[in-house]
């Protein structure tokens, strides 16, 4: 008798019968020829946020790395055991992806833990504390910014954390070089779990705009062209 979770075995059975059967040829081609994703997504570990589902992506279309609070650490000379940095290096220099997307979300537990720690991050855990400490620059920036009394502090830090991660991406020499050359693009996005809405960061204003509005504008441009 196995102690492997029954719900996972049941789920695998459904996957094999429905999804794999539908895309069997695609899976076989991926196994033979490898992956060539054009987009890498840095997402949160939160089980409610699934990049493949949000972007309706098929196997092989997205290269995804997930961590607590969808954070990108700044570049450190000499490397080390940094999972997110290793994934970035492989995606950019190995897979030659064209886009890097930092995907945040509402009610982020990592962001909430940082806010509730009141500077005592050691209480959040041996590993979690040092990790979410990367939100400090974002929090400092917010503290120096005129306060919008109507903006939720949790949401404000979720946005700020995404902006900080985008800045940290540019500290990696191999990313900065390709972005400067126009061969790589970086993006920020935020997902609302309850409503299913997506907001994309405007690079000029750093304001998060509704993705549905952006889609409508894109369709108008395509019609005009």
Catalytic residue among 18, 21, 45, 48: 48
Question: Cβ distance 110 to 53 under 8 Å?
Answer: no
187 - beta bridge partners?
Answer: 101
Question: Cβ distance 70 to 104 under 8 Å?
Answer: yes
Catalytic residue among 3, 18, 45, 46: 46
Active site residue 56: no
Active site residue 108: yes
Q: With H, G, I as helix, E, B as strand and everything else as coil, classify residue 120.
A: coil
| Distance separating alpha carbons of residues 71 and 50, to the nearest angstrom | 16
Active site residue 225: no
41 - beta bridge partners?
Answer: 64, 101
Residue where the block lists tokens 């450190």: 76
Active site residue 105: yes
Catalytic residue among 66, 106, 108, 163: 108
Question: Cβ distance 55 to 62 under 8 Å?
Answer: yes
Active site residue 106: no
Question: Cβ distance 32 to 96 under 8 Å?
Answer: no
Catalytic residue among 44, 106, 163, 199: 44
Looking at 118-202, list the stretches that DSSP marks H as alpha helix, in order from N- to C-terminal side.
128-132, 136-143, 153-169, 173-181
Helix, strand, coil in percent for the chain, rounding step 5: 50, 15, 35
Active site residues: 44, 46, 48, 105, 108
């Amino acid at each position: 008798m196995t102690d492997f979770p029954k719900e996972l075995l049941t789920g695998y059975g459904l996957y094999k019968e429905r999804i794999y059967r539908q895309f069997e040829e695609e899976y076989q081609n991926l196994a033979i020829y490898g992956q060539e994703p054009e987009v890498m997504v840095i997402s949160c570990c939160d089980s409610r946020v699934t990049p493949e589902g949000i972007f309706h992506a098929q196997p092989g279309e997205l290269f995804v790395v997930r961590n607590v609070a969808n954070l990108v650490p700044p570049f450190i000379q000499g490397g080390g055991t940094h999972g997110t940095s290793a994934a970035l290096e492989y995606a950019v220099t190995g897979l030659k992806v064209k886009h890097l997307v930092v995907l945040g979300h509402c009610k982020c537990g990592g962001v909430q833990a940082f806010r509730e720690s009141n500077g005592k991050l050691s209480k959040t855990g041996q590993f979690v504390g040092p990790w979410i400490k990367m939100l400090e620059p974002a929090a400092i920036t917010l503290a120096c910014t005129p306060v919008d009394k109507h903006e939720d502090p949790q949401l404000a830090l979720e946005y700020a954390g995404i902006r900080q991660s985008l800045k940290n991406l540019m500290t990696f020499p191999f990313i900065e070089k390709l972005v400067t050359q126009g061969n790589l693009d970086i993006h920020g996005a935020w997902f609302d779990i309850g409503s299913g809405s997506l907001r994309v960061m405007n690079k000029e204003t750093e304001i998060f705009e509704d993705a549905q509005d952006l889609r409508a504008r894109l369709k108008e441009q395509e019609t005009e062209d």
